[in-house]
Amino acid sequence: VVDLRGRNGLDSLIVDDVEANLIALEAQLSQLDCDLVLVNSGNDGLRELLKREFSVMLLDVQMPEMDGYEMAAYARENPATRDVPIIFVTAMLETEETALRGYGSGAVDFLFKPVNPYILLSKVKVFLDLYTGRRKVADTLAAHERTLKDLEAFNYSVSHDLRAPLRPLDGFSQT
C-alpha cells in the first residue's frame, strides 16, 4: 500500500495488481490536488475503503483472487462505501457485455488501456469536484443546524426570563 497523504483530505483509491500500472496512474494523477492510495489487490482495496472516505476509486477489472467487478459489488453492499464512484480501468476488449457487467456492479465509467491521460485527469477531477461540493453542502447544512439549535436555546432562555417577572403578578392576581 502506497499512501501519499497530507494534502487536503481528498482521497482517491487506485487498485491494480500490476505495479507498472499503479506507477503510471500515480504519475498521470499526481498533478491533481488529492491524496492517492495505491493498492495491488481487491482485498487490500476493500480494507482501505473501510479505513477512510474516498472521493473516487479506479479499479482494474482483471485481478487474481478478487477481480474489480467483485470488489465493486462488495463496496456497493456496504452502506459506508456504496456511494464512492467507481471508474473501471481495463485492458479488456470493449464490448457491450463488459460494459453491462461493469455498470451492473456499480461502475460510473470505464477507461480502456492504454488510458488517455487527459481523459483520465478530466474524469477523476469531475469526481473530486463533486465530492468537494457535497462536502461543502454537508458542512453548511451542519452549521445551519447548529445555529438553529443555538437559536432555539436562546428563545427558550428569553421566554423563561420574560415569564419570571410575570409569575408573582399572576400569583397576586389569583389571590
**102 in Cβ contact with 61 (< 8 Å):** yes
pLDDT at 4 over 70: no
Distance CA 71, CA 76 (A): 9
Name which of 96-100, 108-112, 122-126, 137-141 the model is least confident about. Answer: 96-100
Instruction: Name beta bridge partners: 109.
Output: 87
Alpha helix ranges (H) inside the chain: 19-29, 42-51, 68-77, 96-104, 117-163, 166-174
| pLDDT, position 8 | 53
pTM: 0.73
3 state SS of 59: strand
| pLDDT, position 9 | 62
| pLDDT, position 3 | 46
